[in-house]
Amino acid sequence: MLLLLLSGCGTSNGKPAAQELNLVLAGMDGSDAVSFEGAAALLIGGQTVSESALYYGGKIEDHNKVSLYSLLPDEPGGTKAAALEGLNKLEQSRSATPAYYTRLEKKDGEWLMQSSSPESGAGNPLTALNPLRQLEELEQLEKQVTEETGSARGSKVLRIKLSPGEAKRQLKAQLEREMQAIRPAAGNAQDTAGQRSEVTTAMNTLWAQKEKELQQKLAQAEISSVYFLKVDTKRNLPKRLTWTRTVSHPASGDPAEVETYVTKVDFYGYH
């Protein structure tokens, strides 16, 4: 959340910050391969949900292929610190055992899963952490781009804040993808009486109920979505992408219901 207090404005070398962002994204498109390492965590009411926090890494190849793997923290309680401190601790958990793996490829404008562990992809959080997809989205989203002051020599930091409406549309699209991924089968199974399976019917009814509840809750929520993109000014390439999304429910007035999702990914080894 401290990142939200570090906003600035201005231009770089006389260029508008939005133009700088487009140049950086174009530079990323021109790279044949790059490796990355990152971390993610969900906070509810300011407290980190320990099972949500993970460290991950991977590689981007041929502009449209991404492989990701995750590591679980190997120190009990290592993810129970506050947001950014928790992420820093996760980055130090390098000796853990891989828990998930997925390989994605972009075809006809869509990111498709080519392989996954577990094989079904159920419960695999890595698809949403595809850093190339995150960068691609920044080019299309309705946003305000400014440049932070006080960046270290050889780098600059762009602050990208989505409009409230765009932040909500982005989250809605993500939730719809996730809900469709867990939607029960159409329910063609039949019993000896020729009736649809009661189990299948119950599963579909439950899914429809939860989907309706999710849409109602989202409609009442306020969403804030802010990115910080650290750029290597010498090569005009991304060095780090940090993203903070905050979901609050003003009608409830309960700060414990505020959800904050934080991700941070570092890029290296460009070629």
Residue found by looking up tokens 């982005």 in the block: 170
Structure confidence at residue 82 (pLDDT): 39
Tell me the residue ranges of DSSP E strands in the chain: 33-44, 47-48, 54-61, 65-71, 98-107, 110-117, 143-147, 155-162, 222-232, 237-248, 259-268
Angle at 145 between CA 239 and CA 13, to 5 degrees: 70
The residue-averaged pLDDT of 22-48 equals: 90
How many residues would you count in the chain? 271
Between 99 and 81, residue with greater pLDDT: 99
Between 3 and 220, residue with greater pLDDT: 220
Res. 263: pLDDT tops 70: yes
Instruction: Report d(CA 210, CA 75) in Å as an integer.
Output: 35
Residue 9's identity, in one-letter code, is C
pLDDT band at residue 54 using 50, 70 and 90 as cut-offs:
confident
pLDDT band at residue 42 using 50, 70 and 90 as cut-offs:
very high
Between 154 and 79, residue with greater pLDDT: 154
